[in-house]
Amino acid sequence: MTENARQALSILRDGSQFQWYVIPLLAFVFYVYTVEVEKRNWNLVLAGLAFWGMDWFNELWNALVLRFTGYAPVWGAPGKTAFLILAGLNIEIMFMFAVSGVIWSKMLLPRKEDRILGLPNRWFIAVAGSAFCVFVEYLLNSVGALTWDYSWWNRGAPWLIFLFGYLTFFVVAFWVHDMKSMKQKLLTVGSIWALDILALGLFIPVLHWI
């Protein structure tokens, strides 16, 4: 097991790490969603929840990689945090992803057909957003806040981080945003979160895998 993985496991879900700045972060997330609910911007609310749910799905399989390899997660967050939820997910990252889908979806043009620099605006924003997020990950990795221990997931091989670390989040969020019916939106977002919650309930308290 890598030193980064050992360090992450040493503080995993350790309540003594708590810091009070978690409370204003939580309030900020509530504020973002409350504003959109007040305006009845259900497309944005559900796109945001889809984006967030996709991140939880990623964090779950990442934690399972550590469990089954005994070596390291694909990405880890062993540094300072107010609470480490999973090997690669701390509470600060969680709050960031909670609002990211709403923020990026606000950038979408009203019509799917409209283009930016020749690309459909949904794809332009998804690609640009994913590239921006990879750049931020590079910065976090450079200061040791986010760790990579595999040769196929690092600064020398950014394509997997781009495709599976972020692009899928954007694609699913924008897909939900543009769905024609509220029923379809709710079923899709509900399915993502049902899978996440079932996996969390199974893998943490029952099987103790992650």
For residues 41 and 197, give the distance between their C-alpha atoms in angstroms, rounded to a whole number. 25
Average pLDDT of every residue of the chain: 97
Residue 113 has what pLDDT?
A: 93
For residues 142 and 122, give the distance between their C-alpha atoms in angstroms, rounded to a whole number. 30
Secondary structure class of 181 (helix, strand, coil):
coil
Do the Cβ atoms of 93 and 77 come closer than 8 Å? yes
pLDDT per residue as tens digits for the range 31-82: 999 999 999 999 999 999 999 999 999 999 999 999 999 999 999 999 999 9
Residue 43 has what pLDDT?
A: 97
pLDDT per residue as tens digits for the range 147-189: 999 999 998 889 999 999 999 999 999 999 999 999 999 999 9
Q: Mean pLDDT throughout 88-98?
A: 98
Here the tokens at position 106 are 């606000």
Percent of the chain with pLDDT over 70: 100
Here the tokens at position 210 are 């992650």
Residue 83 has what pLDDT?
A: 98
Count of C-beta atoms within a 10 Å radius of residue 136: 12
Residue 188 has what pLDDT?
A: 98
Q: Report which of 133, 31, 20, 146 is spatially closest to residue 80, judged by C-alpha positions.
A: 146
Residue 107 has what pLDDT?
A: 97
Domain spans in the chain, listed from the N-terminal domain onward: 3-197
Sort 55 into a burial class: Cβ within 10 Å, 0-12 / 13-18 / 19+: buried
For residues 82 and 84, give the distance between their C-alpha atoms in angstroms, rounded to a whole number. 7
Residue 78 has what pLDDT?
A: 97
Q: Report which of 88, 100, 95 is spatially closest to residue 21, judged by C-alpha positions.
A: 95
Q: If pLDDT is split at 50, 70 and 90, which confidence band does 208 have?
A: very high
